[in-house]
Structures are given as C-alpha cells and as structure tokens.
Amino acid sequence: MSVIIPCYNEERNLRLGALENVAHFLNKKNYFWEAIIVDDGSTDESRRLVKDFIVEHPKFKLIERSHQGKAATVIAGVLTSWGKYILFTDLDQATPINQLDKLMPFFSKGYDMVIGSRNTKRRGAPLLRRTMAFGFILLRNLILNLGIRDTQCGFKIFTDQAAKNIFPKLKLYDLKRSAHGSTVTAGFDVEILYLAKHMRYKIAEVPVEWHYQETRHVNPLKDSIEGLQDLIKIRRNEISGAYKT
C-alpha cells in the first residue's frame, strides 16, 4: 500500500497529530506500506515538522517540491510510489484514514478504483462552501455527465496499474505547471474520473465519514472560476480527441 499525502502549509494539522493518526492506523495492518508526504513548497514549518516525524517513523518519506498546486503534488507522489494499491488522502484527515477499511473490499469484487463519497449535506461546512459544492455538481453534470455523485472527496484509491496508466495522461495539470498562493484545482479529480471512465476502468463510489476542516486554501471566487474553466477544458479535450489512447 502506498499512501500519498499532499502538504502545503499544514503546520497546524501537523502539530495536532495528523500524521500520528495515520501511522497508528497503518501500523496495525498486516501488509507492507509506505506513506509519501509531498510538500508543495510550504512556507511555514511544515517541512521541518515532517522531517522530525520521519526520524521516528521510517516508513514515511518526504518529497520536497516547489509550489505547483495540489494536482502536481499528488501526481509526483503517485509516480514515485511502489504499492500494489495507491491511496491519496488529505493531511487534515477530513476523511479519516480508517475509512480505508470501507474501500479495500471492493478490489476483490473486480473494481480498479474506489473513491470516497461524502454526505451531500456536508454537515459542518459553512453555507458558502455548500453552495459552491452544489453549483459545481450542477455544472459538472451539465458539461460532462460523469454519473458520479461526489468527484471532489480527497480520498481515492487505485490499483497500481490504473494509477500508472491514468496519471501520466492528465492534461489539465502536470509537473511543469507553476502556482501562486493556495490552489484547489477542482478539475484535477474530475479529469482523473473522466479518464478512468474513458479507459473503461471499473469505479466504485463508497460513502465515507467526513468532517469539515477549516482551511485557508479556498478562494471562493477564484476557485469557482477555475473549476468552471477546467470542466470546459475537459469537454474540449474530449471533443478534440486529446484523450484518445
């Protein structure tokens, strides 16, 4: 199992013991695992705290990168992983790592990718965040009609074959892009799912526990505009044949 954890200015969550919770859960498992923390050019104490943590937890490793946004960060982690199964999860653990136990049984049923799905009411989230989520769902269904209820939950796991086939083919975000300030990159998850369906991978959507976490990484106006632009770009790539393999 490879667990990819993107990190951008997560000092608060690191000090609250987020990585200790991940380690406690994984250490009880009877399979080999690695946890790859990919730092996205943090400007706070995140990197130092992760390095201190790794001293006592050698199954965790840190990849240090310049700031490119969450999408490039996750891609970098996936492409350096060695696990038969590859999970990416947020460092704030809005979806707790123990929800992995709900997803894993679906691989024995023939699925290639299993994604967490949050309650549509998003309890605990402020009204603005819920309104943004509802608006994105409407636009996503109108433009792409993926047939998936929650594309944006940051808790997704793949077989290594599916991940290594999908991630190098992503068009919206890659390892060459640059970013300025916090960036949500809403289209990243959507493009992953679009490509998975395009490549005929079998996807299971599973309800998971989710807790709203206060974050400074969301800019409602900027992120909404970029999300709409991403949906249009995916549709345009589809029409132009850019995703043909």
**Is the confidence at residue 216, as pLDDT, over 60?**
no
**Is the confidence at residue 138, as pLDDT, over 80?**
no
Judged by DSSP in three states, 203 sits in strand
CATH number at residue 140: 3.90.550.10
Mean pLDDT of the chain: 88
Number of H helices, E strands in the chain: 9, 7
What proportion of the chain, given as a percentage, has pLDDT over 90?
A: 65
Q: Is residue 178 part of a domain?
A: yes
Write down the pLDDT at residue 184: 63
Q: For residue 204, which of 163, 143, 150 has the smallest C-alpha distance?
A: 150
Structure tokens at 106: 């679906």
Q: Is residue 41 part of a domain?
A: yes
Least trusted range by pLDDT, from 39-53, 108-122, 170-184: 170-184
Write down the pLDDT at residue 225: 78
Q: For residue 25, which of 80, 76, 93 has the smallest C-alpha distance?
A: 93
Give the residue, 142 or 200, on which the prediction is more confident: 200
**Is the confidence at residue 125, as pLDDT, over 80?**
no
Write down the pLDDT at residue 104: 98
**Is the confidence at residue 179, as pLDDT, over 80?**
no
Q: Is residue 198 part of a domain?
A: yes
Is residue 49 within 8 Å of residue 11, measured between CB atoms? Answer: yes
**Is the confidence at residue 27, as pLDDT, over 80?**
yes
Write down the pLDDT at residue 121: 52
Q: Is residue 203 part of a domain?
A: yes
Write down the pLDDT at residue 23: 98
- Helix 220-240 crosses helix 186-198 at what angle (to 10 degrees)? 20
Q: For residue 115, which of 203, 230, 226 has the smallest C-alpha distance?
A: 203
Give the residue, 213 or 215, on which the prediction is more confident: 213
**Is the confidence at residue 63, as pLDDT, over 70?**
yes
**Which residue range(s) make up the domain with 87?**
2-240
C-alpha to C-alpha distance for 210 and 122, rounded to whole angstroms? 8
Q: Is residue 7 part of a domain?
A: yes
- Helix 220-240 crosses helix 127-143 at what angle (to 10 degrees)? 10
User: Which pLDDT tens digit goes with each residue over 143-166?
Assistant: 777 888 888 899 999 999 999 999
Confidence of residue 102 (pLDDT cuts 50, 70, 90): very high
Write down the pLDDT at residue 243: 85
* Residue 167 φ/ψ, nearest 5 degrees: -65, -40
Q: What is the pTM of this model?
A: 0.87
Is residue 29 within 8 Å of residue 1, measured between CB atoms? Answer: yes
Q: Is residue 245 part of a domain?
A: no
**Is the confidence at residue 222, as pLDDT, over 80?**
no
Looking at the 3D structure of the chain, how many domains does it have? 1
